[in-house]
Amino acid sequence: MSVNVANALTVDVEDYFQVAALSSVIKPHQWEQYDRGRVVPNTQRLMDMIQQAGHGATFFVLGWIAERYPDLVRQIDKAGFEVASHGYSHQLIYQQSPAVFREETIKSKSLLEDIIGKPVRGYRAASYSITPASEWALDILAELGFSYDSSLFPVKHDRYGMPGAKPLPHRLETPSGETLVEFSLTSLDIMGYRLPIAGGGYFRLFPYWFSQWALSKHLARTNKPFVFYLHPWEIDVDQPRVAGLPLKSVFRHYNNLDKCEKRLSTLLSKYHFRDMETVLESEGLLSRC
> Could you please report the per-residue DSSP string of 210-264?
HHHHHHHHHHHHH-S--EEEE-GGGG-TTSPPPSS--HHHHHHHHTTHHHHHHHH
3-class state of residue 58 by DSSP: strand
- Average pLDDT over every residue of 169-186: 97
> Average pLDDT, stretch 211-227?
97
pLDDT of residue 3: 55
Alpha-carbon gap, residue 173 to 141, rounded angstroms: 12
**Contact of 6 with 228, CB cutoff 8 Å:** no
Q: Which pLDDT band holds residue 2 (cuts at 50, 70, 90)?
A: very low
pLDDT tens for 96-148 read 999 999 999 999 999 999 999 999 999 999 999 999 999 999 999 999 999 99
Q: Cα 147–283–230 angle (5° rounding)?
A: 70
Domain boundaries in the chain? Answer: 7-283
Indicate if the pLDDT at residue 213 is higher than 70.
yes
* pLDDT recorded at residue 1: 39
pLDDT of residue 223 exceeding 50, the answer is yes
Residue 85 confidence (pLDDT):
98
pLDDT for 241 equals: 94
3-state secondary structure of 104: helix
The pTM (predicted TM-score) of the whole model is 0.96
**What whole-number distance in Å separates Cα of residue 289 and Cα of residue 283?**
16
> CA-CA distance, 88 to 236, in Å (whole number)?
22
Measured distance CA(160)–CA(152) in Å, rounded: 9
Average pLDDT over residues 219-227: 97
Side chain identity at residue 165, one-letter code: A
DSSP label of 36: S
pLDDT the model gives residue 217: 97
What number is the average pLDDT over the span 21-28? 94
Q: What average pLDDT does the structure give for the chain?
A: 95
| Interval 195-205 mean pLDDT | 95
Please state the φ and ψ torsions of residue 151, each to the nearest 5 degrees.
Answer: -120, -15
CATH assignment of 7-283, given 3.10.180.10, 3.20.20.370, 3.90.1150.110, 2.40.10.220? 3.20.20.370
What is residue 289's predicted lDDT score, i.e. its pLDDT? 61
What is the dihedral angle through the alpha carbons of 12, 18, 20, 23, rounded to the nearest 10 degrees? 180
Lowest-confidence pick of 156-165, 167-176, 185-194, 233-242: 156-165
- Model confidence at 150, pLDDT cuts 50, 70, 90, reads very high
Task: Please provide the size of the chain in residues.
Answer: 289
For residues 26 and 36, the model is more confident at 26
User: What's the pLDDT score for residue 284?
Assistant: 96
